[in-house]
Amino acid sequence: MKFGHFSDSAREYVITTPRTPLPWINYLGSEAFFSLVSHTAGGYSFYRDAKLRRITRYRYNNVPADSNGRYYYIKDGDTVWNPGWQPTQTELDSYECRHGLGYSIITGKKNSLTAKLELFVPVGDNCEIDRLVLTNESDAPKSFTVFSYLEFCLWNAVDDSTNFQRNFSTGEVEVEGSTIYHKTEYRERRNHYALFTVNTPIDGFDTSRDAFLGAWRSNANPEVVENGRCTNSVAHGWAPVGVHQVNVTLQPGESRSLIFVLGYIENPEDEKWAAPGVINKTRAQAMAARYATDAQVDAALAKLHDHWNTLLSTYSVKSSDEKLDRMVNTWNQYQCMVTFNMSRSASYYESGTGRGMGFRDSCQDLLGFVHLIPARARERILDIAATQFPDGSAYHQYQPLTKKGNMDIGSGFNDDPLWLIAAVYAYLGETGDYSILDEPVDFDNDHSLAQPLLEHLRRSFGYLRTHKGPHGLPLIGRADWNDCLNLNCFSKEPGESFQTTGPSEGPVAESVFIAGMYVKYGNQFAEILDSTGHTDEAAAVRAEVAEMEHTVLTAGWDGSWFRRAYDAFGHVIGGEECEEGKIFIEPQGMCVMAGIGVDTGEAVTALQSVKDKLDTKYGIVLLQPAYTKYHLELGEISSYPPGYKENAGIFCHNNPWVSCAETVVGHGDRAFEIYKKTCPAYIEDISEIHRTEPYVYSQMVAGRDAATFGEAKNSWLTGTAAWTFVDVSQYILGIQPTLAGLKIDPCIPHEMDGFTLRRVWRGATYEIVVENPDHLEKGVKAMTVDGKPVSGNILSPVPAGSTVQVKVVMG
């Protein structure tokens, strides 16, 4: 069952009923000002950091779901309604929400009045524009009243939802003309405030939530709206809100637009005040003036569309499969941008108050983003690397506002350092900009410890080289990619953090998964060293890698698949001898991607075991059999009911690893089958089972051991976005940026005749035609560049600005 449909020409998902299984959201903004907006106009805004600079208030886990946002009420006679249905839930005559690239358009119609709400964050500005266009579709004049409503957050979202003894006394606002200014704490240590304005004289306002809603009411039935009149309240403490009242009369067929702007302003210290106690509004007024007319808003929207069209033209495919094209050309890359911006901080499942930016998460997100805006990827790499410790280990998370490592969670996740190599290699392959390796970068955010970035990579690899366990495999530390496999934790206290309890480093517990990473990213590190003239060092790294490969094929091999780990007692995890958790997905994908066992047969055997033991109709589960009881020696993984999350859920992030691995052994049919199982466009028809947005990936789909098999959770902020894009763009369609050049090595389903693809790489445009006359799954037999045959399948860089025609024949 579907609740809408894709519009490929507009690059939108069109939701046709407000009663979706869950809130279906979109992200506005991709630089500093961000808004989350659901299909019913719920959500919130923040500046850079969802925890420290929250602009509007949201209540997670609220009932009804998602009942705070930027709401526009229309009082037309006795009927009160919202264009997005929430929060009044007044039945609409028609409803539609179009989620597009960086904007959403929600249109409701009631009693012959159409209200179209366009929401977006303009490129280069720190505000959200909500343009409400009202059209009288009746044949008589109509008079009605519009009320805007949003609730301000008192900046620090954690404090805002916990420290009420203070908060109820601090709220302050100013109102001037049609603008409401939220200035809580501006009198003391803040030099920022928010504004909420509309481009027309208003007929009233409210800034006190109590005055607007009335006692014992909710935003479903505000007293002010019911009475049709604002009270012009000025908030002193309690809960400041922004409410405008605009009375409108429209002739038959007439339209009127109201442009609301929610903005964030910073003032320099010496320009904070216009008069004692009166904030300096100059910048706010300038912002309001930038969006005072429809022409200005149209221009800003056009700029936003151009921005996205340019970005997404970097990689676009045309094949015979419209779902593939839709995901590759639009939605997958769009989600990559969002995960790059947000890491795992703010979604409808991540409250924005917990995790900041994850070290491993952000490095992986970058793999799917680097081709879009390499300059931002560069900056991100340098930020992340600066949170590394001098010994090569790393803070697991950092705050985006301060860019400082997060002390609460600390370090000890032993896969983290190697992901930095993955990110830097991807950046170098994309750009060829080796200067990044010479950039001095702090260790532990301490400038006096700065070293060139190359030295950071050296220490990343070195950390794992010097932290091996009894079998010669890398020590796992607190956890590797699987945050829930906590082998040194042994927690018995309810509520204790699995991530930080116990020693950060145990001397015994080892990870085969990190060993796979060590081989894959060790080889990439060696390539980087070779390309920078460090050939002896490269050879030494390769020798280390070869030794690890051998160790994986002995201590890490179980007979039919790769083992997962050894616990703190040296017992196998993920082996035939285990009662539960006999086989895990992660090492199969990572080790084969690293090339381990490809020549000797173990790779194919391991992938066959995945198919036999872990595959389901909705994707590949993380492990089998699921853990049915809590294992003290395994930690959080066994805390989940069977079939959920890391305990045998379909953890979407590592499905593409297996798909990539299948291409490594030449199985295009199987790689594509895996790709499709979790890919949103292919499962849109089961939206009532899947429940999350059908245009983006979710972190997890309940596995076959779960009561709700097929139900997804935690949409948007997942490494799945980046890894699936890597899978489909580099491994399946086969366009791989490498240090040696742009490699073309497709591995596709045999029935595919081929495809055409546009790739902008290092400033030049490659128009690539791939033909598959013999209906193979892999192999390139001939390649021409501008009509001339070339040997091999690697394209060398050409001058920026040129366009190159490439023809590839599989065979």
Task: Provide the minimum distance between the beta carbon of 413 and ligand BGC in the complex, in angstroms, as a whole number.
Answer: 8
Cβ atoms 173, 243 nearer than 8 A: no
Q: What beta strand segments (E) does 289-406 contain?
A: 315-318, 357-358, 397-398
Of 239 and 706, nearer to ligand BGC (C-beta) is 706
Stretch that binds ligand BGC, among 207-215, 287-295, 481-489, 737-745 (CB under 6 A): 481-489
Cβ atoms 326, 314 nearer than 8 A: no
Of 222 and 358, nearer to ligand BGC (C-beta) is 358
Number of residues that bind ligand BGC (CB under 6 A): 9
Q: CB-side exposure of 22: number of CA atoms within 13 Å?
A: 20
Catalytic site positions = 483
With residue 440 as reference, give the H or E element that holds it: strand 440-443
Q: What is the dihedral of CA 358, 360, 365, 367, to 10 degrees?
A: 160
Report d(CA 178, CA 180) in Å as an integer: 7
Task: Provide the minimum distance between the beta carbon of 715 and ligand BGC in the complex, in angstroms, as a whole number.
Answer: 13
Closest residue to ligand BGC, based on beta-carbon distance: 483
Number of CB atoms found within 10 A of residue 165's CB: 7
Instruction: Among 45, 335, 460, 482, indicate the residue that binds ligand BGC (CB under 6 A).
Output: 482
Residues 199-238 that bind ligand BGC (CB under 6 A): none
Of 357 and 735, nearer to ligand BGC (C-beta) is 357
Of 344 and 667, nearer to ligand BGC (C-beta) is 344
Give yes or no for residue 416 binding ligand BGC (CB under 6 A).
no
Task: Provide the minimum distance between the beta carbon of 574 and ligand BGC in the complex, in angstroms, as a whole number.
Answer: 15
Number of CB atoms found within 10 A of residue 202's CB: 22
Of 76 and 646, nearer to ligand BGC (C-beta) is 646
User: Which residue is it, tokens 């969802």?
Assistant: 50
In this structure, what DSSP letter does residue 91 have?
P
Q: What sign for the dihedral angle of Cα 316, 321, 322, 327?
A: negative
Task: Provide the minimum distance between the beta carbon of 636 and ligand BGC in the complex, in angstroms, as a whole number.
Answer: 9
Residues 614-653 that bind ligand BGC (CB under 6 A): 646
Residue 3 tokens, joined: 């609740």
Task: Provide the minimum distance between the beta carbon of 670 and ligand BGC in the complex, in angstroms, as a whole number.
Answer: 24
Cβ atoms 502, 486 nearer than 8 A: yes
Task: Provide the minimum distance between the beta carbon of 450 and ligand BGC in the complex, in angstroms, as a whole number.
Answer: 27
Distances (CA, A) of 606 to 282, 563, 666, 726: 65, 10, 14, 21
Report d(CA 802, CA 785) in Å as an integer: 13
Task: Provide the minimum distance between the beta carbon of 474 and ligand BGC in the complex, in angstroms, as a whole number.
Answer: 16
User: Which residue is it, tokens 């930020």?
Assistant: 383
| Amino acid letter for position 159 | D
Stretch that binds ligand BGC, among 251-259, 307-315, 479-487, 751-759 (CB under 6 A): 479-487
Of 125 and 646, nearer to ligand BGC (C-beta) is 646
Task: Provide the minimum distance between the beta carbon of 645 and ligand BGC in the complex, in angstroms, as a whole number.
Answer: 8
Task: Provide the minimum distance between the beta carbon of 640 and ligand BGC in the complex, in angstroms, as a whole number.
Answer: 11
Number of CB atoms found within 10 A of residue 278's CB: 12
Of 11 and 344, nearer to ligand BGC (C-beta) is 344
Of 199 and 482, nearer to ligand BGC (C-beta) is 482
Of 206 and 646, nearer to ligand BGC (C-beta) is 646
Report d(CA 289, CA 286) in Å as an integer: 5
Of 321 and 646, nearer to ligand BGC (C-beta) is 646
Report d(CA 336, CA 654) in Å as an integer: 16
Residue 421 tokens, joined: 């190599």
Task: Provide the minimum distance between the beta carbon of 352 and ligand BGC in the complex, in angstroms, as a whole number.
Answer: 14
Of 235 and 514, nearer to ligand BGC (C-beta) is 514
Strand order in the sheet with 192-198: 4-7, 12-15, 94-99, 103-110, 113-120, 127-136, 255-266, 192-198, 179-182, 173-176
Task: Provide the minimum distance between the beta carbon of 484 and ligand BGC in the complex, in angstroms, as a whole number.
Answer: 5
Report d(CA 205, CA 47) in Å as an integer: 25
Residue 698's closest CA among 619, 761, 769?
Answer: 619
Of 654 and 736, nearer to ligand BGC (C-beta) is 654
Stretch that binds ligand BGC, among 157-165, 180-188, 455-463, 476-484 (CB under 6 A): 476-484
Report d(CA 569, CA 434) in Å as an integer: 44
Give yes or no for residue 344 binding ligand BGC (CB under 6 A).
yes
Instruction: Among 484, 538, 607, 747, indicate the residue that binds ligand BGC (CB under 6 A).
Output: 484
Cβ atoms 390, 443 nearer than 8 A: yes
Give yes or no for residue 481 binding ligand BGC (CB under 6 A).
yes
Task: Provide the minimum distance between the beta carbon of 397 and ligand BGC in the complex, in angstroms, as a whole number.
Answer: 9
| Amino acid letter for position 178 | S
Determine the straight-line distance between the first and last CA of the chain, rounded to whole angstroms. 41
3-state secondary structure of 113: strand
Residue 589 tokens, joined: 């994908």
Stretch that binds ligand BGC, among 230-238, 276-284, 478-486, 504-512 (CB under 6 A): 478-486
Cβ atoms 659, 734 nearer than 8 A: no
Residue 525's closest CA among 436, 460, 432?
Answer: 460
Whether the bond into 87 is cis, omega within 30 of 0: yes
Number of CB atoms found within 10 A of residue 185's CB: 16
Residues 348-367 that bind ligand BGC (CB under 6 A): 358, 360-361
Spell out the long-range contacts of 709-716 with Cβ–Cβ below 8 A and sequence spacing 24 or more.
Answer: 709/616, 709/618, 709/643, 710/617, 710/618, 710/686, 713/349, 714/347, 714/349, 714/350, 715/25, 715/347, 715/348, 715/349, 716/25, 716/27, 716/335, 716/338, 716/339, 716/342, 716/347, 716/348, 716/349
Of 182 and 645, nearer to ligand BGC (C-beta) is 645
Task: Provide the minimum distance between the beta carbon of 522 and ligand BGC in the complex, in angstroms, as a whole number.
Answer: 20
Query: Exposed, middle or buried by CB within 10 Å (0-12, 13-18, 19+), for 559?
Result: exposed
Residues 510-539 that bind ligand BGC (CB under 6 A): none
Given the rule CB under 6 A, which residues bind ligand BGC? 344, 358, 360-361, 481-484, 646
